[in-house]
Every structure is written in structure tokens, then in C-alpha cells.
């Protein structure tokens, strides 16, 4: 049988301008209300935000840009495909899977026809003394 195909996972990023929730830090164990996220009267958090470096109104787009700038030395490159192109890519993957299954069936057929649970017959090699 041919060696199987080893595909790697792809990380898909969904980027939008939707705001990310930045909740207050929970109260520590042993405090008056452990696990509660307390807010002050002015609406700010008593224990601070979980992500204090996020400005108010921080979005998924902002997070994506910040993360990629950090990971890629400040460089940002976008690659995108349309919904129609994604559907074409999906169809191509199905076609590839179909082809591989058919090739595997052919290989199994010829393997069964030629080997048939008997040792392969070939030219014998004699060693000189």
C-alpha cells in the first residue's frame, strides 16, 4: 500500500471589529466573596481587568494585529479568499479524497491478484563459494 497522506492543520482566524469582553479579575480565595468579579460604583473593576493592556473597545481585529505584529517583528500581511473560493477549495479537497480512495482500491485489487497469499516468485540468486 502507498504511504498515507499526512496533512497539517490550518489555523483559521476570524477577524472582526466586534468588541472583546475584558472581564474584571475574580476575587481571590479567602476574600469576602471569593470568585466574584466585583465592580466599583463608577463601573471600574475593584481588582483590575484580566487584560489591563487592552484599551477600552478593544476588538478582535486589534488583538489579531497586535499578536501578529509581535510574532512577525512588526510585519502584517493579510491573505484572504472569498466565500466562493472557499467552496471551490472544499470541492477540490473532496475530489482529492475521491481520487486517493480509488487509487487505494486499484492497489488492493492488483495486490490481491498478484500475491494471492503465496510467496512472490522471482529469479533465484546463487552465491558462489
- Residues 87 and 41 sit within 8 Å (Cβ to Cβ): no
CA 54, CA 77: separation in Å to the nearest integer? Answer: 22
Counting residues of the chain whose pLDDT is more than 70, the rounded percentage is 80
CA 8, CA 75: separation in Å to the nearest integer? Answer: 24
- For the chain, the structural domain boundaries read 13-75, 81-116
- pLDDT at residue 120 above 50? no
Helices first, then strands: H and E counts in the chain = 2, 0
Closest CA to 53 of 66, 42, 39: 66
- The arithmetic mean of pLDDT across residues 64-88, rounded, is 84
pLDDT confidence bin for 116, thresholds 50/70/90:
low
Q: What is the DSSP string of 3-17?
A: PPP-PPP--------
CA 69, CA 75: separation in Å to the nearest integer? Answer: 6
Alpha helix stretches (DSSP H) within 3-82: 60-71
Number of other CB atoms surrounding residue 58 within 10 Å: 17
CA 128, CA 99: separation in Å to the nearest integer? Answer: 48
- Which of 15-24, 54-63, 116-125 is the least confident region? 116-125
- pLDDT at residue 6 above 70? no
Confidence at residue 124, expressed as pLDDT on a 0 to 100 scale: 55
Amino acid at each position: 500500500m502507498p504511504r498515507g497522506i499526512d496533512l497539517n492543520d490550518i489555523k483559521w482566524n476570524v477577524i472582526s471589529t466586534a468588541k472583546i469582553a475584558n472581564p474584571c479579575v475574580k476575587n481571590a480565595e479567602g476574600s469576602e466573596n471569593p470568585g466574584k468579579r466585583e465592580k466599583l460604583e463608577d463601573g471600574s473593576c475593584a481588582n483590575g481587568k484580566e487584560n489591563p493592556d487592552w484599551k477600552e473597545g478593544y476588538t478582535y481585529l486589534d488583538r489579531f494585529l497586535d499578536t501578529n505584529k509581535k510574532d512577525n517583528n512588526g510585519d502584517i500581511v493579510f491573505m484572504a479568499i472569498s466565500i466562493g473560493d472557499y467552496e471551490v477549495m472544499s470541492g477540490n479537497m473532496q475530489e482529492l479524497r475521491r481520487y486517493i480512495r480509488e487509487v487505494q482500491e486499484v492497489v488492493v485489487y492488483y495486490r490481491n491478484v498478484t500475491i494471492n497469499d503465496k510467496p512472490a516468485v522471482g529469479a533465484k540468486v546463487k552465491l558462489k563459494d
